[in-house]
Amino acid sequence: GTATTTTTMTAEVEEARTRLLKACGELMGAMERAEKKAAAATAAANATEAATLSSSTTLTEEGPMVGTNAAAALVAEPMSTDATISGVEASAEVALTTTEVKDLADADAETSSASADVAAKKKKPRRSVLFGAVMGALVACWVFSGNYIFTAVFTAMTILGQLEYYRMCMSSGIYPARRISVVGAASMFVTALFAPELHQICLPLFGIGAMIWFLTMRRQVSTIPEIATTFTGMFYLGYVPSFWVRIRLLGGGLEPTRIAPLVAPLLGFIGKTADSLPNFLPKAVHLPITEGSVFIFWTWLCIAFADVGGYFFGRAFGKTKLGRIAPAAGVASPNKTVEGFLGGCLVSSVLAAAGAWVMRWPLWYLSGPIHGVYLALLGLVGDLTASMLKRDAGIKDFGDLIPEHGGIMDRVDSYVFTAPYGWLVCAYVIPWLRRVAAGAAAAAGVPVP
């Protein structure tokens, strides 16, 4: 009896289990049908959207038809599961076609955007070239404007450059003695104009003044970076570039150059105009063209075109990164190449040779190109120095004073370290070469040209 009861209970459990499995299967089937209907509804919506886009986009002829059939299949109850699946597959094809249309539209938009970017990049060099030409003309007028105007504009530019430099330092949490540094830099330019013999004493005097400022005017002990940035500002943006003013004072006429006959009428007109002005004005326009001003003009021209030549030679032939021979320089400016530097030296040498011929340098075909190579090298050093400072501070430009060119320091960085070298060449090297050439000519009985 017990065995019979156990057998009966086992049969009932198996029957209940079978019914439960059947119910689960029916439930899963219902869920699958519901999911298929939802997918079909989504596909129908996509098909409607595709039909709307078909007026402007080329689709397959079957796409809209299938979409309409799928929509109709949703309105009426499908006769069988196979028919529903067929409608879903057709709608999926329409949805795929719609997705492809959207992808094509996105691709067209990206292509248009890329074309616009390329056009903007093509226009930017043109604007830069135009801006550079205008600035070059203004700089030429400034160089030949007279000692006072030249010094005044240079002093103002230096003060703006110093403020950009100290603003960069303060963004890094360093607070130098800005005021005394700016006053010291301005005094170096003024002293170079009115008392050149006292010019070189300005840096140590104002350095001592900066230390007195740190000790008496600060509530806390100043840090090494604060002291270092103060002295760097006075040296880098005061003492070093002030040598351009001393160069500007060299030579009182154009006798040593080949362009004297061309500018003689201009000098005569300026002299007559100066004589008719009040007494305090002729000094400002007295001798606007000196041997030093011609030297500055050709030197700055060489530096500017060395930069331009380096850029184009680097783009065309640049393969060897500058970082391979100077790792720190490569980190400061990763895009600089050795080929670009050599191209800049070539362009600068050609222009410097022309300038040496104009200024009647002895052995101009040798002294000019050598001078051009030194200018390209020192210009690169100035550029890399500014890049190193900006990279350490985490900024791209020193400022935004000049449109598309950054701040003052972004434009004059290549001209800073060339000033002392230019003073050495113009005040000592070239006069020495002339004396040697004159002595050799006298010994040979040849008249000096």
Question: 262-276, 363-377, 428-442 — which is least confidently predicted?
Answer: 262-276
Q: In the prediction, which pLDDT does 432 show?
A: 94
- Model confidence at 85: pLDDT above 50: no
- Find residue 321's DSSP bridge partners: 337
Q: In the prediction, which pLDDT does 94 show?
A: 45
Please count the residues of the chain.
Answer: 449
- Give Cα separations from 343 to 48, 230, 310, 312, 339 (angstroms): 63, 36, 5, 8, 6
Q: In the prediction, which pLDDT does 276 show?
A: 58
pLDDT digits (tens, 9 = 90+) for 369-421: 999 999 999 999 999 999 999 999 999 889 878 766 778 898 899 999 999 99
Across the range 426-445, mean pLDDT stands at 90
pLDDT digits (tens, 9 = 90+) for 181-225: 999 999 999 999 999 999 999 999 999 999 999 999 999 999 999
Reported as a pLDDT band with limits 50, 70 and 90, residue 272 is low
For residue 402, give the 3-state DSSP assignment: strand
Long-range contacts (CB closer than 8 Å, 24 or more residues apart) made by 145-148: 145/285, 145/288, 146/284, 146/285, 146/286, 146/287, 146/288, 147/193, 147/245, 147/248, 147/249, 147/284, 147/286, 147/287, 148/193, 148/283, 148/284
Q: What distance in Å separates the CA atoms of residue 307 and residue 379, rounded to the nearest whole number?
A: 8
- Model confidence at 336: pLDDT above 80: yes
